[in-house]
């Protein structure tokens, strides 16, 4: 799924989107009435979206430490696994019970 398709799907009713000034977002003006692009100085990156940068660095470190030779065709699977673990990091001992309930309720 391309970025433009994701914007159409998830931000269809949004009137304003704020992003960094990446070239990936050139086509956003076709889907959203107002696009506020902001260049973030290197010194302020950690202050603006600290959790995003922490999650990205943790995912890189996790993948490089666990899977030493990552092939690009499997990268999405490694990222999916990291996201799954990251989203459940506070479940602790209840993780198995939660998975069991989710599996039983799956339709």
Element (H, E) at 20: strand 16-20
What is this structure's pTM? 0.48
- State the Cα angle at 26 between 25 and 30, rounded to 5°: 100
Distance between CA atoms of residues 20 and 15, nearest Å: 17
Distance between CA atoms of residues 104 and 101, nearest Å: 5
Write out the chain's pLDDT in tens, 107 residues: 677 777 777 776 777 877 777 777 777 777 778 878 888 787 887 787 778 778 888 888 888 887 777 788 888 888 888 888 888 788 778 878 878 888 888 76
């Amino acid at each position: 799924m391309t970025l433009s398709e994701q914007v159409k799907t998830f931000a269809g009713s949004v009137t304003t989107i704020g992003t960094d000034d990446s070239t990936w977002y050139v086509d956003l003006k076709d889907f959203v009435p107002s696009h506020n692009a902001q260049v973030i100085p290197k010194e302020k990156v950690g202050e603006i979206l600290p959790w995003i940068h922490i999650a990205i660095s943790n995912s890189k470190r996790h993948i490089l430490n666990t899977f030493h030779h990552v092939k690009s065709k499997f990268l999405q699977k490694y990222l999916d696994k990291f996201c799954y673990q990251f989203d459940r990091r506070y479940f602790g001992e209840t993780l198995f019970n939660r998975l069991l309930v989710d599996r039983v309720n799956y339709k």
